[in-house]
Amino acid sequence: MERTLAQAATQLGLTRPQLIALMQEKGLLNERRLPAYPTRDHEYLRVKDGQWYHGKYGLQYSQSIRIKQAGIRWLADQLGIDLPAIPADRRDVA
């Protein structure tokens, strides 16, 4: 499962602008708010390519960042954020 910056920020107990600022401060994002090291961090972060049609300007392209499932814990470690412990799954208890 992949998350947007806003979804990841919520899971880390931050707002989206706070997460972006921390990631830029730590050198994880470049000036375009994309991964600064896409090859190194490919297991945790991904660039999502998008496109849409604009009536006046034609086909438009965009890129945004997605945080992979493994990236949440990695991001917390990189940013020095303590994540709450994952609750035990009690569905198997008889």
55 burial class (0-12, 13-18, 19+ CB within 10 angstroms)? exposed
Domain boundaries, the chain: 5-79
Mean pLDDT of the chain, nearest integer: 90
Asked if 79 and 11 count as a contact pair (C-beta separation under 8 A), the reply is no
Which pLDDT score, from 0 to 100, does residue 89 have? Answer: 60
Asked if 24 and 16 count as a contact pair (C-beta separation under 8 A), the reply is no
The three-state secondary structure class of 59 is strand
Has this prediction a pTM greater than 0.95? no
Residue 9's pLDDT band (boundaries 50, 70, 90)?
very high
Residues 60-94: tens digit of each pLDDT = 999 999 999 999 999 999 999 887 665 666 666 65
d(CA 8, CA 16) in angstroms, rounded, equals 8
